[in-house]
Amino acid sequence: MIRIDGLWKAFGDKEVLKGITLDVEEGTTFVVLGASGSGKTVLLKHVIGLLKPDRGTVTVDGMAISTLSGRELTEARGVFGMVFQGSALFDSMTVFDNVAFPVRERERRIPHDELLARVIESLRVVDLGEDVLDEWPAQLSGGMRKRVSLARALVANPKIVLYDEPTTGLDPITTNSVDSMIIQAKERRGVTSMVISHDIASAFRVADRLAVLYDGRIAAQGTPEEVRRSDDPYVQRFLSLWFEKQ
């Protein structure tokens, strides 16, 4: 579903991505794990076409995202739903209007009853009911805001959901809730997921496959168990403190 092949990116004299190659298979959850400054966010921006590579290609659902621009790129982005680090809900909108927003942007003449049904169905995927439709973001807990954010990402029936640091700043209970939400979205909707994270525990809970990014390169890639057994010195250091606590 996502193919990144030999991706290089520099800003001035600073090389940020150095030959990244990875595949995200359809219907799986792929986590890109790494410390701050490792290049994770820059990689994500290439996947959605916000940045163009210096070398290499990014192909999404058969489309060469790295070569598109203008209207073609806007249309290609229709395959994506996005869950942002801080949920990024509109404070001046109710839950209903937040979740409905992507559909209204793409289908301006959709009947209200059909829109309502799609919003409710998306909320049910993340275990929320109709009782939250008229709530405001400020009235929701952190975990509920994340669930509404995912419902919004799912409402337009995307093939791929991208998660940008979804557990940053959350307590352990809410983090577990968000992890369950990611797994449920895959199981109930069959979406392909790409998660950008520095949270080792969360990554190992949700990933079918993962890659550890270090200094713009992939230090290890594979199933969680394969990455755990990696003999790369950085990967061993990066994972060691967390696994010692288990």
Q: What is the mean pLDDT of residues 2-23?
A: 96
Rg of the chain taking only CA atoms, in angstroms: 18
* Distance, CA of 113 to chain centre: 29
Supply the range of the domain harboring residue 43.
Answer: 2-244
Query: What integer pLDDT is reported at residue 109 of this predicted model?
Result: 84
CB-count burial class (<10 Å; 0-12, 13-18, 19+) for 177:
buried
Taking the C-alpha atoms of residue 41 and residue 220, their distance in angstroms, rounded to an integer, is: 18
Taking the C-alpha atoms of residue 132 and residue 17, their distance in angstroms, rounded to an integer, is: 42
Query: What integer pLDDT is reported at residue 243 of this predicted model?
Result: 64
Residue type for position 197: S
Inform me whether the pLDDT recorded for 241 exceeds 70: no
Total number of domains in the chain:
1
Q: Are strands 192-197 and 29-33 parallel, antiparallel or unpaired?
A: parallel
245 band by pLDDT with thresholds 50, 70 and 90? low
CATH of the domain at 121: 3.40.50.300
* pLDDT tens figures, 81-108: 888 877 789 999 999 999 999 898 888 7
Here the tokens at position 36 are: 């701050």
* pLDDT tens figures, 32-64: 998 888 899 999 999 999 999 999 999 999 999
One DSSP character per residue, 181-235 reads: HHHHHHHHH--EEEEEE--HHHHHHH-SEEEEEETTEEEEEESHHHHHT---HHH
